RNA sequence: UCCCGAGUAGAUCAGUCGGUAGAUCAGCGGACUGUUAAUCCGUGUGUCGUAGGUUCGAGUCCUACCUCGGGAGCCA
């Protein structure tokens, strides 16, 4: 007998007659007088493996009464299964109850609501759905790195603690070592000069600005790390802590940015279909029956490109009434985005060149004086999934935009320095990792694709 | 933060006109020689979210608060 083997390996590479040692947790027990079946799962796959025991097994009685949730070690022989539902199973020759679980184990064999499972986030990991979600999340993260590595992108770890919230994107979580009850004051305000970093600091809301600095030295870079927003938003799509992927390319314009985003999205779709097939089939069966067809369509699609101005014209001509107004100069609402991608295009579409008033200060001013080189990628069912832009590389234009936006250029002197010496046209985009997972799995709540989600009033586990 | 909905057994829910608490599943006990969320028989379970109020009487009506969910805004 060799050492412990993962169940996925045993099923993929094992041959009938082979002796195995398996370890995992009990998902279900089906017992009758002459035979007992236990589904054992060790997290390596969705299905687990069926363990068969007959009364000749030493301590058969104890085995047949083991509780759901128990940790077991099973030694036995792999054999072809006469029953339907699985090709291989293991005939138990010996077992050890590594960690017992009694009847108070909160997870039942039957289906639970996601709301209930969130209250036992430490145990929901042992369910089919969350096993599939977090296996896929792990595999997808590794694929993100492979995608960029193959293209020669440098992976940057941008700071998590930062003194700049200049993007104005969301509220900052404060980071401080000052006494919250009696902070040092100067002129009635908290004196952050006394604080740990000598200035007011918080958790990062984006690594983009630092990413741009790296792009001006390494050409092509990406960040992939945690991001924090202290917004009090209670929706299925918002979390206070989430992971974001932000590539940035020097010597690149908006078209190159869209090309990268298209290749990236298609790659992620292709990957989960090919390499997470068992889990994807589960999602397709249990969560969203059109999932695989939709992801397959995106993987094979030619992404359309449409000017914002044209998008507005199309929406105005649309034979449907929208809840929100459609007017050049206004931002697109979710209903507009979905109409464009689902009805007008029938597939993924980039909307390009938005009015400058509704976009961030760092986006590149177009020659028309009215728009900036921004892009949003819209996909069926969710709307916007990627947002990006070509950045303003001209020092004078950028400085003026900052002043118009109420940002003190002096506070971002280092950002402006990259425009001062060796400035290049450059572009990048941002993708919320959890939103990508939601899209690829059909899961509808961000709290169910983050292991231990942080949302207003929730930092448990 | 705003709007809407919900909170009853371990889980998911029903509860009529205000009259004193119910189903299914899980669990537990038993049966069963190949099951697949096994099946069959038997069996128990309650601070009805919290605090007030109306009433002879409140799970049910009223008020406030708490929590959760959905939608919106904001966004990734």
Query: Cβ of A445 < 7 Å from strand B?
Result: yes
Q: How far apart are CA A436 and CA A244, in angstroms?
A: 10
Tell me the nt nearest to A324, Cα to C1'.
Answer: B72
Q: What is the pTM of this model?
A: 0.94
Q: CA-to-C1' distance for A95 and B34, Å?
A: 20
Question: What ipTM does this complex have?
Answer: 0.90
Work out the burial of residue A138: count CB atoms within 10 Å of its CB; fewer than 13 is exposed, 13-18 middle, 19 or more buried: exposed
**Per-residue pLDDT reduced to its tens digit, A19-65:** 999 999 999 999 988 899 999 999 999 999 999 999 999 999 999 99
Does any strand B atom come closer than 7 Å to the Cβ of A100?
Answer: no
pLDDT tens string for chain A (461 positions)?
A: 569 999 999 999 999 999 999 999 999 999 988 899 999 999 999 999 999 999 999 999 999 999 999 999 999 999 999 988 899 999 999 999 999 998 889 988 888 999 999 999 999 999 999 999 999 999 999 999 999 999 999 999 999 999 875 444 458 898 999 998 899 999 888 899 999 999 889 999 999 999 999 999 999 999 999 999 998 888 898 999 999 999 999 999 999 999 999 999 999 999 999 999 999 999 999 999 999 999 999 999 999 999 999 999 999 998 888 888 888 999 998 889 989 998 899 889 999 999 999 999 999 999 999 999 999 999 888 888 999 999 999 999 999 999 988 888 998 999 999 999 999 999 999 999 999 999 999 999 999 999 999 999 899 88
Nucleotide nearest to A84 (CA to C1'): B36
A84 touches strand B (CB under 7 A): yes
Assign A11 to helix, strand or coil. helix
Contact flag, residue A93 CB and nucleic strand B, below 7 A: no
Q: Please, where are the H alpha helices in A73-127?
A: 114-119
- Among A240, A76, A272, which Cα is nearest to A173's? A240
Q: For residue A424, give Cα distances in angstroms to A136, A146, A148, A410, A434.
A: 37, 26, 21, 21, 31
Which among A273, A264, A295 has a CA at the least distance from the CA of A382? A295
CB of A300 lies under 7 Å from some atom of strand B: no
- Give yes or no for CB of A128 within 7 Å of strand B: no
Question: Is strand B in 7 Å reach of the CB of A171?
Answer: no
Reduced to 3 states (helix: H, G, I; strand: E, B; else coil), residue A172 is coil
Instruction: Give the residue with minimal CA–C1' separation from B25.
Output: A110
Name, in order, each residue with C-beta under 8 angstroms of A115's C-beta and a sequence gap of 6 or more.
none
Is the CB of A47 within 7 Å of strand B? Answer: no
Please identify which residue in the block is written with the tokens 């980071």: A175
pLDDT tens column, A68-111: 999 999 999 999 999 888 999 999 999 999 999 988 899 888 88
B strand bases under 7 Å from protein CB: 1-2, 10-13, 25-29, 31-38, 67-76
């Amino acid at each position: 007998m060799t050492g412990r083997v993962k169940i996925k390996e045993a099923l993929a590479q094992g041959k009938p007659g082979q002796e195995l040692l398996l370890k995992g947790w009990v998902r279900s027990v089906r017992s009758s007088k002459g035979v007992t079946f236990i589904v054992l799962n060790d997290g390596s796959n969705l299905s687990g493996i069926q363990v068969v025991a007959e009364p000749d097994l030493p301590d058969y009685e104890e085995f047949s009464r083991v509780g759901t949730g128990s940790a077991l070690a099973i030694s036995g022989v792999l054999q072809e299964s006469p029953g339907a539902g699985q090709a291989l199973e293991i005939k138990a020759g010996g077992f050890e109850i590594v960690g017992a679980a009694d009847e108070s184990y909160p997870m039942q064999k039957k289906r639970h609501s996601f709301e209930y499972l969130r209250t036992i986030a430490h145990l929901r990991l042992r369910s089919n759905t969350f096993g599939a979600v977090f296996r896929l999340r792990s595999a997808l993260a590794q694929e993100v790195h492979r995608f960029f590595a193959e293209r020669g992108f440098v992976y940057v770890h941008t700071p998590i603690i930062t003194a700049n919230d200049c993007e104005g994107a969301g509220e900052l979580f404060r980071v401080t070592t000052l006494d919250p009850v009696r902070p040092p004051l100067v002129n009635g305000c908290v004196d952050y000069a006394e604080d740990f970093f000598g200035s007011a600091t918080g958790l990062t809301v984006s690594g983009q600005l630092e990413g741009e600095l790296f792009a001006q030295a390494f050409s092509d870079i990406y960040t992939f790390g945690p991001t924090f927003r202290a917004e009090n938003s209670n929706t299925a799509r918002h979390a206070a802590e989430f992971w974001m992927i932000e590539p940035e390319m020097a010597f690149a314009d908006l078209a190159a940015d869209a090309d990268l985003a298209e290749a990236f999205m298609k790659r992620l779709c292709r990957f989960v279909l090919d390499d997470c097939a068992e889990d994807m089939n589960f999602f397709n069966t249990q969560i969203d029956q059109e999932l695989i067809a939709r992801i397959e369509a995106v993987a094979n699609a030619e992404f359309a490109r449409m000017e914002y101005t044209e998008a507005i014209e199309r929406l105005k001509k649309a034979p449907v009434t929208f809840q929100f107004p459609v007017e050049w100069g206004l931002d697109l609402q979710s209903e507009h985005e979905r109409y464009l991608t689902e009805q007008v295009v029938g597939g993924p579409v980039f909307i390009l060149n938005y009015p400058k008033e509704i976009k961030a200060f760092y986006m590149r001013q177009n020659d028309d004086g009215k728009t900036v080189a921004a892009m949003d990628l819209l996909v069926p069912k969710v709307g916007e999934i990627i947002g990006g832009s070509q950045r303003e590389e001209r020092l004078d234009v950028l400085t003026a935009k900052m002043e118009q936006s109420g940002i003190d250029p002096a506070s971002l002197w280092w950002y402006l320095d990259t425009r001062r010496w060796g400035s290049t046209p450059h572009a990048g985009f941002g993708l919320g990792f959890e939103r990508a997972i939601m899209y690829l799995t059909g899961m509808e709540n961000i709290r169910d694709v983050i292991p231990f989600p942080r949302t207003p009033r929730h930092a448990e586990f």
